[in-house]
Structure 1
Amino acid sequence: MNEKQAIRAVFVDLDGTLLQGVDTVTPRTVAAFDKLRASGVTPVVATGRLAYEADFAMRAIEADGYMIAMNGLAVYDDYRTGHLLYEAYMSDKAVSFILERLMREKVFFQAYAGNRAYCQEDRAGLICSCGMDEEHVRFFSGTQKTVADLRAYLSAHRLKVNKFFVSVGDVSQIPFLRVALNAIEGVVTLSSGEHYIEVIPEGADKRRAVRAVREAMGLAPEEIMVIGDSENDLGMFDEAVTRVAMGNACDALKAKANYIAPSNQKDGVAWALETLLLGEQPSRFSGRIEILRAEEIEASLEFSTRQYLAGDLRLPQHLNFLLDKNVEIGISDYDHYHWEQAHYHTITSEYCYLLSGETKYIDLSDGTEYHFSAGDFYILRQDTPYVQKCREGCRLLFAKVPGLNDKVTIRMAEPLQQWCADWEAAWSPEQQAQQDALQQEE
């Protein structure tokens, strides 16, 4: 890829992306941004941090014009002058409910308001047991303002809250706490790390911020690159055609990415700029063609109905598959009638080519029945609930992208089990209604 002429702005996250640790921008990264600016490409920082907490990084890469802070809650069109394009706040009612809920939990949290992070005194000590590493503990302790009563302080100083940052030592508590916080009207939660929850106003995130900056710059989605690592970067990935996830990124972000860079600890951002925009990296060709011979594949299928050809697999295989961390490819081969438990995939999409025989599917989201024969090609998109049955002699080539074990099974009502048990059985709206009713009970 050579996007040197097409890309005119690069939006880059900080923690886990641009930075090594909490405050290090490497010389290699600085040099890459120097060359990028010289070629006419504008760097834009898009971070969950407060603006002043990101100041050193913006100075390092000279990204001092447009800037996105607090996950898109404060967006500057000129950071040098402090002029805001817009700022988003949560309602006083939502702030009150959030404080009430968080005070019930033994968690560390901060309120972000007026370009400052505030922490209540009786919560400040929890920073050492909330899952942060020592470097982040020092950083957050040094930048926050501690007050005796957070609710009273915000009210007395008439501060409008942009977001809450929460850090939880026991990660098993996080799903339940996010559900409780998401139930508060006007706010949503995001995650920027294993132990972290960020509570922000609904509708205000990095996606809205990137779109606002992109449009202010007069750029199309094809003219920007976005680079990130966390769940809170998912929104900005929807605003760009060129999307780079770090090697240390969450699986959901990697699934949306065009390119996977090395980790932040291995100068992944510098690699992305050098390789994708500056054309400086040497060819990555391995000079090796790896092979699975037909006789090996056929021999493996004598003992199994499914054989993976490529992937990064954990289960034992009859055949030594080709290692690939980005995709799973395999063959399903049935010499007898077969059906599979209803399920869906949360991250992957599956591409299927029917080599021989016949198969039927039901899309359980709307009850549509599909019948495929040899030569048909189709895609099972992520979050599509379905069930499949295969006739004797069915052979299917499939590819899962990315290669992840993200299957979630679905309970099957009696009519669905009856449909699976008989190739000739048809599916009806009445049967779909019974299956829907079962799902609603859960």
Structure 2
Amino acid sequence: MIEWQILSIKYDSEGEKTMIKCIASDMDGTLLNAYQKITEENKAAILKAQAQGVEFVVATGRSYQEAMFVLEEAGLKCPVISVNGAEVRNVDGEVVVANPIAKALAKEAATLLREQGIYFEVYTNKGTFTDNEDKGITAIIDIFSSANPEAPMEMIVEGAKERFKQGLVHVVDNYESLFDDDEHQIYKFLAFSMDAEKQTAGRRALEGIAGLAISSSGFLNIEVTSEDAQKGVALERFVRERGIEMSETMAIGDNENDLSMLNRAGRAVAMGNASFEIQMECDVVTATNDESGVAQAILEVL
């Protein structure tokens, strides 16, 4: 039997239960199961919410292309807050907001990561780039295994390799052209090191650069974006433009890079597979991602 716990229910000043008008969900470890799929239960709950006029938006650290690969496979259409809020697209795929890292800050962060000996990928408005495919696969294995610790490693490795098979990540000799031309906007660095001490040192150094937001989506990674490119900041703007209050918004997530939206939402839902620290920051703990916890959280408020 699936066990989940309602920790609290939000009420307005008159004691009435707040109506949820927008639902924002993370992807890895949240909307997606260990097979990197959206379950039929999750899909049905999303469609039910949309049919009742509730706005559903994905808020993910993935690029738009990687997010859409899964959404299209499931037959779902919705707005997407991608790359932790660096880019927001409407339901038709049009970019409505972009929050890139200033080129000077991007070069400074890249130099720091190189000096620390930390591998990193570059997410841009033109796609995701790596200068080392093997390390790129290892970095995504870290994200997938962090979100799905009980999943077979063979399945996780195959899922990580799928990014390259589907052309979702581009291999380049170096990143200099991305930093120097005007066509590429730098959205995010996904940095990774199997050396925990090196990773910690790198994170501390990055946190010293003003104008950057530092978070994580795995055991051994660092996500670097503009301070304006955070899920919570992007979500708050998204709902405000639709005449919705954050008090009328539910956010669902499982990791550190979800905290900025979980802390702002009127109803914050942690996945059952989230760490104890994340669960303690939320109002509700639902089932795990393999138990369609997103569906349970949605149906609870409809």
* TM-score under structure 2 length normalisation: 0.82
In the TM superposition, what is the alpha-carbon distance from 1:182 to its structure 2 partner?
Answer: 1.6
| Aligned mates of 2:116, 2:158 — CA distance in 1 | 24
Structure 1 residue corresponding to 2:94, chosen from 60, 65, 82: 82
Aligned residue in 1 for 2:123: 112
In the TM superposition, what is the alpha-carbon distance from 1:19 to its structure 2 partner?
Answer: 0.2
Aligned residue in 1 for 2:5: none
Q: Which runs of 5+ in 1 are unaligned?
A: 279-442
SS at structure 1 position matched to 2:257: helix
Q: Which whole-Å deviations, capped at 9, do the CAs of 1:360-419 have from their partners, x for residues lacking one?
A: xxxxxxxxxxxxxxxxxxxxxxxxxxxxxxxxxxxxxxxxxxxxxxxxxxxxxxxxxxxx
CA distance 1:110–1:277, change in 2 (3 Å):
same
In the TM superposition, what is the alpha-carbon distance from 1:156 to its structure 2 partner?
Answer: 4.2
Is it true that 1:124 corresponds to 2:133 in the alignment? yes
CA distance 1:28–1:157, change in 2 (3 Å):
same
Aligned residue in 2 for 1:224: 249
| Aligned mates of 2:54, 2:210 — CA distance in 1 | 40
Q: Which whole-Å deviations, capped at 9, do the CAs of 1:262-296 have from their partners, x for residues lacking one?
A: 1112211112123x124xxxxxxxxxxxxxxxxxx
In the TM superposition, what is the alpha-carbon distance from 1:88 to its structure 2 partner?
Answer: 0.8
CA distance 1:140–1:104, change in 2 (3 Å):
farther
In the TM superposition, what is the alpha-carbon distance from 1:81 to its structure 2 partner?
Answer: 4.5
Aligned residue in 1 for 2:104: 93
Equivalent position amino acid for 2:25 in 1: V
Specify the structure having the higher radius of gyration (Cα).
1
Is it true that 1:184 corresponds to 2:209 in the alignment? yes
SS at structure 2 position matched to 1:29: helix
* Contact 2:31/2:38 (<8 A) preserved: yes
CA distance 1:61–1:98, change in 2 (3 Å):
same
| Aligned mates of 1:148, 1:128 — CA distance in 2 | 16
Query: Greater relative contact order: 1 or 2 (C-alpha under 8 angstroms, separation 6 or more)?
Result: 2
Aligned residue in 2 for 1:23: 36
| Aligned mates of 2:82, 2:297 — CA distance in 1 | 22
Residues 379-418 of structure 1 aligned to structure 2 (within 5 Å): none
Aligned residue in 1 for 2:301: 277
Q: Which whole-Å deviations, capped at 9, do the CAs of 1:212-250 have from their partners, x for residues lacking one?
A: 011011011232111001111111112211110001113
Aligned residue in 2 for 1:38: 51
Greater fraction of residues in helix: 2
Residues 179-218 of structure 1 aligned to structure 2 (within 5 Å): 179-218=204-243
* Contact 1:22/1:135 (<8 A) preserved: no
* Contact 1:51/1:115 (<8 A) preserved: no
| Aligned mates of 1:8, 1:240 — CA distance in 2 | 12
| Aligned mates of 1:251, 1:162 — CA distance in 2 | 30
CA distance 1:215–1:22, change in 2 (3 Å):
farther
In the TM superposition, what is the alpha-carbon distance from 1:45 to its structure 2 partner?
Answer: 0.5
| Aligned mates of 1:81, 1:127 — CA distance in 2 | 26
| Aligned mates of 1:2, 1:97 — CA distance in 2 | 43
CA distance 1:43–1:93, change in 2 (3 Å):
same
* TM-score under structure 1 length normalisation: 0.57
In the TM superposition, what is the alpha-carbon distance from 1:135 to its structure 2 partner?
Answer: 3.7
What RMSD over aligned residues (CA atoms) do the two structures have, in Å?
Answer: 2.4
Q: Which runs of 5+ in 2 are unaligned?
A: 1-8, 12-16, 143-155
Is it true that 1:161 corresponds to 2:186 in the alignment? yes
* Contact 1:46/1:68 (<8 A) preserved: yes
Q: Which whole-Å deviations, capped at 9, do the CAs of 1:34-66 have from their partners, x for residues lacking one?
A: 2222222121111111111111444436342x3
Q: Calculate percent identity across the aligned residue pairs.
A: 28
Equivalent position amino acid for 1:80 in 2: D
Greater fraction of residues in strand: 1
* Contact 1:16/1:264 (<8 A) preserved: yes
CA distance 1:61–1:17, change in 2 (3 Å):
farther
